[in-house]
Chains A and B, each alone.
Chain A
């Protein structure tokens, strides 16, 4: 599948550079999506979408001029090229044909897609949701409501730039999310779970789907017996998989080069410094096969890669797109991502996770006298300027005498990214990567968050118990 001919891309780029500028880029995208949900035992909201569009970006010094348009009509593309050229304040008119030579770029998939979701009958996707409903409802009489959502997306992209780059990628993602409500008398709790990745429907095989629904139900049912969470400073063991949202929010965002260069990150100027104990190593890896945040290339045409961000406790790299990489005179790390052709690429995480250690998660727990076991978070937020964060614990337990005991509700983790990193004193061997969405500057992109079980020596737990 070819979206746009290089014969057309060259003149568009030349037109954009007509009044000057350093680099011009043309980004072309066709996306197809299908989504379906189930609620109250009913399959509903079937939705399909097809979008085609392109954007032109002109980089001049530290500024970016950007235009985008729905559709790929030649006159529209030339018009936005004119518009970005016109945004450049001054500059002499240059010949619009100084020969930008581009090769063809054919979108192909760098990650395996065994069962392309578009080729599967929508009725089978509805059956996946019905299976979730049945599995969750069978988990216990207290299960009062089940909702589930299925979504697939295929994005074919092409990137051309005036340095002669021509690159393409074909991306397919599927995702299933299940939410279960359990009710006993006045007590109501929810549990949710997701599964997905960069790949086809093989990622949502029948047994995987049952596991997702059963896990969501187990969480909701367990939390029915929860007591109020304790408050104060205590050791915290953070669960694997989605527990990695802590790393994502409290560390990862601070390593994105835009925040670093604006000096709004607490990690600015700290490259090479020891910011965590020696047992801590962490990666951002957009090339990890089939992972949710993976792509073949980033949205500026740079191949995705594994970047070591923390090595043996030392801060080793920031996450770069092309613009910020040029400013620091380093190569891009393949982190220039955008939600769609309607957005400017900015430095974004792909799949960000702590490298596994050697011990078992059980050993981390049994080593803890009294503390909190935070299995999963409802999400979290961080102020990048200070590194202060707050995370709501959606599934949490007390740890007493080295054993996981009562579930607790209403716990939040409050702290600071650097402090939390320094407090890590144990990393288990059970790395898992979850399927999240990350929002930044109004752009939402799939981001893999993950880690093995990690223990923090001490952290503030904001609870509701007196």
Chain B
């Protein structure tokens, strides 16, 4: 099936060249998706979707234009190719745009679950209902707001006028449960989630149990007095922050003057225990692929090592501009957008100590289990932030009363520098992109409450 898609992509490339492009690239996607939402033991909605489309990037006179469409018949492709060529006319000339000089593919572990095609809808519904039941089984969980199961199974192909042609099959499945515990104004939400290549990777007991445990841990939460104290981030929260930092390590953000880390390569920007890489080939990484959105072979790119900033993420354009090599970081979330520099799988290297030890080291502080307002609360230029937080107090080295309606404030640079330890409980989290996250102990942060 994916070989057929390569043929479709090459039709796109040729059509763009025929429309007057000097270089062209086409990306084709095809697949099926399923989403199941259950509520109170019954299916609330079930979605069955077929998706296909093509996106063409056309280059002419140092300009690039992009167009996409849902018709992958020859006439539809020609129209898209012409629109891409016409769009290129509008752009200003850019000496760095163009296709990558070197392309290829990396050998990666199979990206498609061998079982995904065999699971019936009924089995998937049962999995979601089992997660709901697992959450409800915890005393104190009044309601399970929603359980969502979703999967996708499909192929992608990319071809370019410089001779690249490649394709791969990929699948993904994830499920999440949202449980409510407590009454009235004391009611708190907890989220549990699982992610994998196929439904067989999801454990409904873990997903439902996690939602319940997280909700119950926060029942009765109250604001606390303002303080400056050590903070432990749980993996969900650590992932959200690291996602923000990953975005700032894009060479595009650096070159556009939108990164706090421009001109900081080689500098110590974080606490020594922090090691961060972007790994487009990670074995279980949700974003793993043999090549990036421009046909460059995926790899592991170290970003922060021993607290030092060791590199940025490049696509071919930003690499050309910086006089570097691409790191194969051209991302394509779908055929509806052109490739752009971004993170694939951000990997925080887990530390030796468990969460318990991080909490003990914090002694008196705050364990943060959830943040709200991160996207609006972080100034992307200065890095200062102030976000709402929920979690638990840490007293005498142990988790104590639940806390809500407080804000934590700092700036990303100070926060990175204050990393004192990374915990050992690492897992894939779909927050902040795709992040292999672990808990983190931060030396100090401003908590404002009452």
Contact = CB atoms under 8 A, between A and B. Distances in A.
Nearest to B84: A48
Contacts of A145: 256-258
A386 B404 CA distance: 11
Interface residues on A, range: 35 or more
Interface stretch (B42-50, B151-159, B295-303, B341-349): B42-50
B69 A190 contact: no
B369 interface: no
A51 B379 CA distance: 35
B436 to A, nearest CB: 23
A45 interface: yes
A379 B376 contact: yes
Interface residues of B, number: 69
Contacts of A377: 376
A391 B407 CA distance: 11
A379 B386 CA distance: 12
Interface in A327-382: 342, 344, 377-382
Contact of B388 (A39, A68, A414): A414
Interface string B4-48: 000000000000000000000000000000000001001111111
Contact of A62 (B42, B256, B379, B386): B42
Contact of B379 (A43, A190, A380): A190
Interface string B414-450: 0000000000000000000000000000000010100
Interface in B60-97: 64-71, 79-80, 83-84, 86-92, 94
Nearest to B180: A385
A285 to B, nearest CB: 25
Contacts of A48: 65-68, 83-84, 86-87
Contacts of B380: 190
A462 B445 CA distance: 13
A165 interface: no
Interface in A390-417: 390-392, 394, 409-412, 414-416
Interface in A56-94: 62-71, 76, 80, 83-84, 87
Contacts of B106: none
Contacts of B394: none
Contacts of B65: 46-48
Nearest to A64: B45
Interface string B248-290: 0000000011100000000000000000000000000000000
A70 B47 contact: no
Contacts of B50: 68-70, 76, 80
Contacts of B84: 48
Nearest to A121: B90
A40 interface: yes
Contacts of A460: 405
B336 interface: yes
A344 B45 contact: yes
A343 to B, nearest CB: 9
Q: Per DSSP, are chain A's interface residues mostly helix, strand or loop, or mixed?
A: strand
Interface stretch (B111-119, B162-170, B185-193): B185-193
B384 A69 contact: no
Nearest to A377: B376
Given A43-B91, A390-B372, A411-B386, A68 B49 contact: yes
B388 A412 contact: yes
Best-surrounded residue of B46, B64, B79 (most CB of chain A within 10 A): B46
A262 B43 CA distance: 14
Interface in A9-57: 36, 39-40, 42-53
A155 B4 CA distance: 31
B69 A126 contact: no
Contacts of B121: 87
A274 B47 CA distance: 39
Given A122-B90, A409-B384, A392 B376 contact: yes
B373 A50 contact: no
Given A70-B70, A462-B406, A464-B386, 17 more contacts: A45-B91, A46-B66, A47-B68, A47-B337, A50-B69, A68-B49, A70-B51, A87-B121, A144-B257, A181-B258, A264-B145, A381-B372, A386-B185, A390-B373, A392-B373, A410-B409, A462-B407
14 contacts: A48-B65, A50-B70, A50-B71, A50-B80, A67-B48, A70-B52, A83-B48, A188-B382, A231-B226, A388-B388, A389-B388, A390-B407, A412-B386, A462-B386
Which 6 pairs, one residue from A and one from B, show the smallest C-beta to C-beta distance? Answer: A379-B376, A390-B388, A462-B407, A378-B376, A46-B87, A70-B70
Interface of B: 39, 42-53, 64-71, 79-80, 83-84, 86-92, 94, 121, 143, 145-146, 180, 185, 187-189, 226, 256-258, 336-338, 372-373, 375-377, 379-382, 384, 386-388, 404-407, 409, 446, 448
